[in-house]
Amino acid sequence: MFLNNNLRHRFKSPYVSPVYGLITAFALILFFPSCTKKQSADNGEMSAEFKPIDDTVVKLSATKRSAEGIKYLDSAYHQLSKPSLIDIAHYYGYHFMYSRRDLRNTKLELAYADSIMIIAKKFSNLKSYISYIANANFAKGDAYFDLNQYTTAYRYYYEGYIFGKNYLDNGLLAEYTYRMGMVSFRQSHFDLAANYFKESFKLSIAYPDDFRGFYQKQELLNDIGESYLNSGNTDSAGLYFNRTLRFISKYDERFKVISYKLDIARAVTWGDQGKLMYDIGNYAEAQRLFQKSIDFDLKKSYDNFNAELVEVDLGDLYLKQNQLAPLFNLLQDLHKQLDSVKNMEALTSWNRLMSAYTAKRKDFEKSLDYFKIYSRLKDSLSKVDMSIKEADINQQLANYDKQYQIQALKDNNKLEKIFLYLAVLGGIMALVIMLLVVRNWGRSKRDLKAISELNLQINSQKNDLEATLEELKTNSQEKDRILRTVAHDLRNPIGGVVSLTNVMLEDEYTDDQKELISLVNSTSNNTLELINEILEATNHKIGKSNKELVDINSLVSNSVEIMNFKAAEKNQKIVTELLDAPEMLLISRERIWRVISNLISNAIKFSPNGASILVKLINDDKEIKICVSDDGIGIPDNIKENVFNMFTDAKRPGTAGEKSFGLGLSICQQIVENHGGKIWFESENNKGTTFFVSLNKPAA
């Protein structure tokens, strides 16, 4: 494909886009800022008679009725008794743009540009004179550019710039940088073009705050995007295309009466966005944007010229995707449009696409005919482009070439020296590296031998440790077996002693005898409790528990009900706070019951007579918490770390002298952790303790 839509057909005679003609017509009107100022006639004041004529011509031009506008202008202008200089300047300005945009008559265009220059020289006010002379030079530069006399065009552009910059007229500087951007773009210096357009946009703050100023600004934003797109900077191009559309949308309400003009501007940007999507391989989005642009531009009074160029892009997309049927329909429609809206670039591309299409259809004879026409037209366009790229820069290119050759020789000498230094340095480094390799090789052999010996030693120690661990495991199991056997054998006789002493306490004995019997009974009970804890600790390590779904409310209530008898011995009260609704947990009923009972038993043991004990259930998101709180003696800081250790020294008697063997909490921790839960406590010495048990809810 050729260069992108909006810029590629500008400054090209006689193939100037009507929309661009409209924009530059507005820009030409911007050339004459003093038309709104109250000055004498020779200083640029528009006459009261010419003002309505000017307004009418602008409206007709804006609706693409330029021929009617020029006819009306000629008739009304010749009826003026004494037109002012600004009247005459506008008269020639409209004819200049009509010759350029509609008639595409470059010689007539130049003649009107000369007329503007003659009028500009008649202004007596210095500021007006400078302003009009500068813009007349810009007009002549445009005319010579369209005549393909680029060296002369650049000279007039520069002369306009020199006239304008002395008075720091940002409007004039914006016009100059805009033209330099266009020239740079046509010369394929796209990054330079983007910089010129950015500078022009920055300077365009001097433009009037009206539709003409708005339209020129949105065009500049889009031009920046197109420059980046052609330079391959797709990210920046996308940013500026989006910025263009946002800028246009800001003025929707203000210019809603002429909203179709905003749609024309959007259609150009949509087409450019389609090309961007095409370049990055997003063909579906490219097709949508191309079609959206075409649908708007093909409306009556819209930019049919731009639509033809976007249709060429869409045709290339169809061809790339081998969509021959829609490609043929598109080319048929485009051919009809080219009969009424002349577009040499689109016609050239049409022949290229028809050649490719007929080749796909195996009609090689027609394909060759279309290709010959395409080649002829392309050569004509290429000559114009080539002359633009070569114009006014040949001598500079020769100078650059000489400077480059001189610099290249200097650089070559520098490079030769650098290569020599690098070669010497490389040789030295290679020698050093070889020495290091030899030394490291010897060291590596020694290290490898030492590592091998260490590895053998480590493996030997590992085997010894594994054997020791296995022996310890066997010894531990044997110890547990002996403990269970001893505890079991002691349980029955000591239980008998407890029962016998209970009976004896009910018989009639002396006080001294009863005291001795009571002492035996108490000691036997303590011993029996120790035996039970030993059995529980050893039995807990045997196998896995059988888990089932258990209602935690019911399990806690059952535990509390049983422990109430023990609490009653110390006139204590157990308060429960259960869940509002039943909650089923996958647990071992017996073992979790032991945990709850053990925690309540400890709370009873370490709480004073008459105390209250709180057993509370908390329903969290993914777990149930069991809390057992008391106001007892608490746990001192120095033994907190050891309370969960089996056979720990962190044991104290209860408030009524109850014995503590230090096994219960260790068993509780093992049970809870085997259920995947956690157990912890919060305690303050002499103020009470709260134990927490968290158990996970079953998966849904």
- CATH code of the domain covering residue 610: 3.30.565.10
Question: Cα–Cα distance between 166 and 148 in angstroms, integer?
Answer: 29
In the block, tokens 């810009």 appear at 138
Higher model confidence: residue 35 or residue 382? Answer: 382
Q: Where are the beta strands (DSSP E) in 470-592?
A: 548-551, 573-577, 584-587
DSSP H/E element including 684: strand 678-684
Most confident of 27-31, 70-74, 280-284, 586-590: 280-284
Q: Residue 301 above 60 pLDDT?
A: no
What is the spatial distance between Cα 122 and Cα 135, in angstroms, rounded to a whole number?
Answer: 14
Residue percentage of the chain with pLDDT more than 70: 80
Chain-centroid distance of CA 434 in Å reads 50
Tokens 């009206």 locate to 210
Helix (H, G, I), strand (E, B) or coil at 508: coil
Query: Tell me, what's the pLDDT at 536?
Result: 63
* Number of CB atoms found within 10 A of residue 642's CB: 14
* pLDDT reading at 22 higher than 50: no
Distance CA 179, CA 200 (A): 9
Q: How many domains does the chain have?
A: 1
pLDDT score of 434 more than 70: yes
Q: Which residue has the tokens 């149930």?
A: 624
Structure tokens at 212: 């003409």
Question: What mean pLDDT comes out for the span 438-444?
Answer: 85
Sign of the torsion formed by the C-alpha atoms of 410, 413, 416 and 419: negative
Residue 633 covered by a domain: yes
Could you tell me if residue 458 is inside a domain? Answer: no
Whether 619 maps to a domain, the answer reads yes
Q: Give the tokens for residue 471.
A: 């022996």
585: phi then psi, degrees, rounded to nearest 5: -120, 145
Q: What is the pLDDT of residues 212-244, one digit of tens each?
A: 889 889 999 999 999 999 999 999 999 999 999
Q: Does residue 661 lie in a domain region? A: yes
Tokens encoding 232: 């391959």
Q: Catalogue the E-assigned strands of 190-258.
A: none
pLDDT in tens, 107-121: 899 999 999 889 888
Task: Give domain status of residue 690, yes or no.
Answer: yes
Residue at 677 is within a domain = yes
pLDDT for res 526:
56
> Is 371 contained in some domain?
no
Q: Which domain holds residue 561?
A: 548-696
For the CA atoms of 679, 680, 685, 688, the dihedral, rounded to the nearest 10 degrees, stands at -60
Confidence of residue 665 (pLDDT cuts 50, 70, 90): confident
Residue 624: inside a domain:
yes
CA distance 210 to 124: 28
Q: How far apart are alpha carbons 45 and 47 in whole angstroms?
A: 6
Q: Which residue has the tokens 């951007």?
A: 181
Q: Is 321 helix (H, G, I), strand (E, B) or coil?
A: coil
Say if residues 6 and 223 touch (Cβ distance below 8 Å).
yes
Q: Which pLDDT belongs to residue 167?
A: 65
Q: Are 14 and 23 in contact (CB under 8 A)?
A: no
Q: 3-class SS at 600?
A: helix
What is the rounded distance in angstroms from the CA atom of residue 89 to the CA atom of residue 123?
11
| Residue 163 token pair | 């006239």
Does the pLDDT at position 503 exceed 90? Answer: no
